[in-house]
Structures are given as C-alpha cells and as structure tokens.
A and B are shown apart, each in its own frame.
Chain A
Amino acid sequence: MDTEKSLSPSAEVDILEPTETRRMRVNVGPSHPAMHGVIQIVVEVEGETIVYSDTNFGYLHRGFEKECENHTYQLCIPYTDRLNYVSPLINNEGFCLAVEKFFGVDVPERCKYIRTMLSELSRISDHQTCIGAAAMELGAFTPFLYLMKGRELIYRILEEVTGHRLTINYMRPGGLAADLPEGFFEHLRDILPVIREVTSETDKLLTKNRIFIDRTRNVGAISKEDALSFSYSGPCLRACGMAYDVRKAFPYSAYDRVDFEVPVGSTGDTLDRYLVRMAEMEQSVRIIEQCMRQIPDGPVSVNDPRVILPPKQEVYHTIEGLVNHFKLVYEGIRPPKGEVYQMVEGGNGELGYYIVSDGTGRPYRVRVRPPCFMIVSSMDFMIKGAMMADIVPVFGSLNMIAGEMER
C-alpha cells in the first residue's frame, strides 16, 4: 500500500513525492470559549486554513413562537424579553407596536419618546456587549471591561425605570407599565458622558491598534449583493455600504422627529462592522439627548379600554372598570381578525413580528423575523478559505444572540 511504502525506511522512497495528507476535522463548539455554548461549527482545516465548515445551531430553541399561541398578548411580552436578551426593550417595543397596529391606536407622545430613549439605551448596551465580547475573544480583555463598565450604568438606569436589569417586561400594548421614575433625567444626564468616555477609551485601544486592524480588515468580508441575498439587515448590512435602517426607512415611535445619521461602511469586513457599531453608539447618544429635550408631559398610556388596563381607581369603585379589568386579564386583549407585520431596528437589524389574530385573546400565530438567523447563516460563506483564528473575530462581529436567533 502507499502508506506502507512511504513509511518504510528503504532508500528507494522518492522524497519529492508528496506525503499523503488528510484534512483535520475540528469541532468548534458548542463547548468552546468563543461559541457561548450555543453554536457548533464543524470545520475542516488544512494546516490553519478552513476548507470546509458547517455551522449548526438550535441549542437554545425554546419555542417562543409556539408558546405565544397559548398566552394572551400581554403574557407574551415577558417572552419577548428573552429573545435578544442584551437589548430586551427593543423586542418589547416591536411586539407592542405590532399589537397596537391591530387596533390602530396611537400611543401618547410621551410614551413614544420614552420608548425611543430606552430603545436607544438598549441599542448602546447591545453594541457595547458585541464590541466588548469580540475584542475579548481577540485577546483584548481591557476594552471589554471598559465597555462593561458603561453597560453597567445603562443596566442601572434601566433597573430604575423597569425594576429589572435583564428581563425588563416594561412596555405594554398601548403604552408603558409605568412612567419614568423621579430623577431619571438627571441620572441619564450623568451617565451619557460616561458612555461617551468608555466609547472613546475603546476607540483608542482598538481603532488605532495595528494588531486589531490587521486581525479584522478584509476578514469575513461580504459584498453588498451577497449580504442582501443572505437577507442581511442592521449594522452588518450597513457595514457593506447599504444605508438601510428601519428607523429611517419606516420610522416608528419618535424616530421621525429626531435627527440622526445612519453610518455605513464600504467593504463589509469585520473592521467595518466594528466601526459601524462604534458610530451607531454615538448616534444613539445623540438621539437620547434630543429626546430628553423634546419629551412632553402627559400620560404614558393610551386611554383605550380595549388594550390598556383601567386605572385602579375605576377598578375598585365602578362595576364597568372591574369588568373591564377582569376581561382584559382573563381573556386578554382581543385584536380584530387579521394579520400584521411590524418591524423595529433591533440591535442586530430588522426585528420583525408577524402576528395573525383570529379575534380571540390569544394570537393564532406569531412569527419572529430574527436578524441574527440570516446573518449567522452566512457564517460558512464568510469563513471559507479563512484561517482558523479568523472564526473568532468574524463570529464576534456578527453578534449572534442565540435567544433571538433560535427563538
């Protein structure tokens, strides 16, 4: 046999004849430090070069969509927190907007501004987590902790508003669970400069760092056409040079009344994705500042007995209020028959909710369009021919959130 011949020490062996080699198959994940325990990439490498890869996910599928069919609309909201758990308020907002679309109700101005502000805070925390984690996986541990310092401040202020840090369950169809607490704006005014500061610290440590740029430039690049064919959205699509942002294209809440830019990249590589996210954090801070100036006084929930619980005063003292409360809690809000699709700009891109209502208190079907799913689907395409070490920055820059991707 060939192998025997090449192994035998006889003098006749032609040393110029190439040795028989085999590709090495490496299981990257699910228990691998960069794979967060929720994704597996089977790669075949020749040396360090990836010749074949197969991305498998589904480790965190929790049946969100099916679960919604057995819950009233209000009871679905806590589940939406657990989709993209790094920016749960945006998920809340998307679901509430979709349900409001059924009724055609328009929430009060103050509610719109609060939603916008909190969504942008969530977006900042989302981008901070993504950049920090990606940098950490590249070995730069320090920027990660700087960014976590900033995220901690955001979590604290969200805790003040909603009572929770992660699973906030704050928005309701037709309004909010509660108004902003006292001293919110002073606190917000205090933390915005700190957020800017950690961003600029990160900028100094990474954007001007030759090693970081070498590790990310032209790594995992994807063209605009390919990105669109993979149904990209969000920062990853904008990094390819396509200025599509749901907040600009289909404004919701108060986005049509604030001035902000949509940063775009050019090459669609890992560095561009990083730069787009960095620029978006600054834009989010700008939006928050404008909202703080523009926000009016007034109620935070719409006065519509069909969607929002009546005030406790009415529940305890009038029979209509009590019945209304009972029906809304027991049967849930009952949107008219039909279907809606509502998208919001999530931390990773277009987060869409498609809800079919059969007129009862529970949705007939809920379908989520998770931005991650499409983006992570292109993982194999992006890392083909790259090196083993490139998996980490590419994967980190896609910001996979398994809760959202696998629902």
Chain B
Amino acid sequence: MWIDLLIVTCKVLFMFLFVLGIAGILTWVERKQSAVLQDRIGANRASIFGVRMIGLFHPIADALKLFTKEDFVPLHGHRVLFVLSPALAIVPALMTFAVIPFGDNVHVLGREVSLRVSDINAGVVLVFAIASLSVYGITLAGWASDNRYSLLGALRGAAQMFSYEVVLGLSVIGILLVYGTLDLNEIVRAQGGYWLGFIPRWGVFVQPVGFLLYFTAAFAETKRMPFDLPEGESEIVAGYFTEYSGMKYAAFLFSEFCEMVLVAGLSATLFFGGWQLPVDVARGLALPLVGVVHISGLWVPLLQLLTFCLKVVIFLWLLMQIRWTLPRFRYDQVMSLCWKVLLPLVLLNIAVTAVAVLAVKG
C-alpha cells in the first residue's frame, strides 16, 4: 500500500516539477529566443557574485521581485474572487498533466507502473474538461478587478476560449476515430512502428488537417500572440490582469506558460507519437558510426522520457517563434476565423475521417 502511495507521490512530484520547471525556464527562453530573433543579446544582467549564467538567473530574480511586490486589491473590486481567480487560472493548467504519459509502463519493485500520474482511460475527455475550466479564472479576474479594460479583456477571453474550445474538442475527434480509444497511453502505443519501413506511424500523418486545426485552436487557448486579445497590450493595457500585481500577476503568467507546455505535450502525445522513439527500440538503437546498440532495462523508459521532452521542447520553440513573428488579430477576426473557417473544416475533417475509418476497418 505505502509503496503505491510512494510511487504516485513520486509521479506527482515529477510532473509538478517538470511542468513548473519548464514554465520557469520558458520565461528565460522567451527573452532569449526573442532576442535571437531580433538581433539582440537579451536578458543577461542578473548575476550572483558576478556569475551571469547567460541570464539564467533572471527567472529567480523575477520571482524574488514579484514576491516582494505590493499585493494590491482594487478598492471596489470583489475581494474574494479577485484573490481566487489566479488560482482558478493556474490549477486547471497544472491538473491536466495528470493523464499525459511520458513513458511506457515499467516494472519497478515487482509491479507494473505506468509513467503518468493517473491511469484514467478517458484521458482525452478529462484533459479538455479540465482545460475548459481555465476560462473561469480569466472571466472572474476581469470582472472582479472593477476595471473597464479588465472587463473588456475578460469578455474577449471568455468569447475566444469558448469558441475555440469547440474547434479544439472536435479537432481531436479524428484521432480518436482512427485509434478507437480515449486512453492517451493507448493512443501513443498505437503510434509505434513504421509505414514502408521508415515513416513513423504518427498521428500527424493520418490526421494532417486535424493536427493543423488542433494546433491553431490550442494556440488560441493559450492566449498568446497572435491570439492574445484578452491581454491585448497597447489596446486594453493588460486586459484581464491589468489590476494584478506581485505573485497573483505571476500566476496568470505562469498559467499561460503551463498551458503552452500542455499544448506542446498534447501535440506530441496525440499527433507525434508521444514517448515513442522515432527508431525501433526493440531491434536496438541504430547509431551512426557506432552501430546497433541493444538497450534494455531502465534505459528504455529513460529514452522514452527524453524523447517526449524533446518533442515538447520542439513544440515550445515553435510556439515561441510564432509568438514573436505575428501581429495580433482583432476580436471579430478571431471570431470569424473560428466559426467561419475552422469549424466547417473541422466538421469536414470528422466526416472524411469517419468515412475513411469505416471503409478501412469495415
């Protein structure tokens, strides 16, 4: 009994540290990557005893600064909701990682352990169910702030997130139809192997349109440029978190980064084989110059974990690159993109996939 508890605690701790760690580093990555993109050097001032570590201390400096800031609550705002809404924003973003697998099942201490926090067989549904709760954080934050910019931001956020949730949910239906399961680990397992010996059986090759639609909608859900209308800096100041300061402000920022990690993780899991290596592990790892290296034991889950992380990092890089390249949409344009372009496409994708699945599987 206590071993099970220990294992679960370990997994929870690992996932927590993984997500929060990546989100913390992302604040640094955002600065450095944008700097590279814009011919700048980027943040490099924070130092401890003269050691600068290419600016890696900046997240720490940020955290210290934000912790020591005044915790401001607007005079006429709704005090309870104002304090509650940053939590409402960040908790769903963290909770959804419970069902994302970062490796195949392993045998530890005489029992089979799955490398994810919770073995829920309806993982996809859970992810979207919890992720959709994060809209409350934004809406209530904007409303409780007693600020007109915040209210405008909250309205934009609510409309945008509700709309794109429809597309987001429908865009993965294709994948679910193809693999016939809601269990994320099963979906990943089904993506192992090759077509024609070299194309990995990744979901993106079965559902290319589905992936693009999913990625667009998920991007909109993260509320980052070009979809950062709820924040809309220079239009509505800072949108729904205009009035927030200190760590409450950081909570919103962090929830945004956590959502980015979530989008990257889900993209990798659903469409890019999750923890599946692009090479066949069973036959050994074919390395150039070295030859075939047979791997076994704990090396397999370790490699799977690294593969998953690498895929997540690549997606995060892509998200950053897009964010620093494109200008912002306008409110009505985002809405018409969702309802007039993405929704018909996603419905068409479902219909075509359904017919194809029926034809292939009989």
Contact = CB atoms under 8 A, between A and B. Distances in A.
Contact of A390 (B37, B39, B226, B330): B330
Interface-central residue, A26, A34, A139, A214, by most chain B CB under 10 Å? A139
A389 B235 CA distance: 6
B326 interface: yes
B225 A139 contact: yes
Contacts of B39: 145-146, 149
A215 B332 CA distance: 10
A214 B225 contact: no
A316 interface: no
A389 B149 contact: no
Given A146-B39, A211-B226, A388 B152 contact: yes
Interface in A195-236: 205-206, 209, 211-212, 214-215
Interface string A335-370: 000000000000000000000000000000000000
Given A214-B333, A388-B236, A391-B235, A138 B38 contact: no
Interface string A264-304: 00000000000000000000000000000000000000000
B330 A142 contact: no
Contact of B38 (A47, A145, A214, A388): A145
Closest 3 pairs (CB-CB, A-B)? A139-B328, A140-B327, A138-B327
B327 A48 contact: no
A139 B327 contact: yes
B37 A142 contact: yes
B331 A211 contact: no
A33 B328 CA distance: 15
Contacts of A206: 327
27 contacts: A24-B151, A26-B149, A33-B234, A45-B152, A47-B155, A138-B327, A138-B328, A139-B225, A139-B228, A139-B233, A139-B327, A140-B326, A145-B40, A146-B38, A211-B328, A211-B329, A211-B333, A214-B329, A214-B330, A215-B327, A215-B328, A215-B329, A387-B331, A388-B152, A388-B235, A389-B232, A391-B235
Given A388-B152, A389-B229, A141 B333 contact: no
A209 B237 contact: no
Interface string B39-56: 110000000000000000
B27 interface: no
A214 B50 CA distance: 48
A388 B330 CA distance: 9
A170 B152 CA distance: 48
Given A139-B226, A214-B333, A34 B234 contact: yes
Nearest to B148: A26
Interface of A: 24-26, 32-34, 45, 47-48, 135-142, 145-146, 149, 205-206, 209, 211-212, 214-215, 387-392
B37 A48 contact: no
A36 B148 CA distance: 20
Which among B229, B232, B327 has the greatest number of chain A C-beta atoms within 10 A? Answer: B327
Given A139-B327, A215-B330, 11 more contacts: A24-B148, A32-B237, A33-B233, A139-B233, A139-B326, A142-B37, A149-B39, A215-B327, A388-B236, A389-B232, A389-B330
Contacts of B181: none
Nearest to B38: A145
B215 interface: no
Nearest to B229: A389
Contact of B324 (A33, A48, A142, A389): A142
Nearest to A135: B327
A149 B39 CA distance: 9
A45 B155 CA distance: 13
Contacts of B324: 141-142
A181 to B, nearest CB: 27
A180 B234 CA distance: 41
A137 B329 CA distance: 12
Interface string B149-167: 1011001100000000000
Contacts of B333: 211, 214-215
Contacts of B236: 388
Contacts of A149: 39
Contacts of B148: 24-26
A209 B40 contact: no
Contacts of A205: 325
Contacts of A215: 327-330, 333
A26 B153 CA distance: 13
B118 interface: no
Nearest to B326: A211
Contacts of B226: 139, 211
A3 to B, nearest CB: 19
Contacts of A389: 229, 232, 235, 328, 330-331
B245 interface: no
Which of the listed residues B37, B330, B333 has the most CB atoms from chain A within 10 Å of its own CB?
B330
B222 to A, nearest CB: 15
A33 B237 CA distance: 6
Contacts of A209: 326-327
A254 B74 CA distance: 60
B34 interface: yes
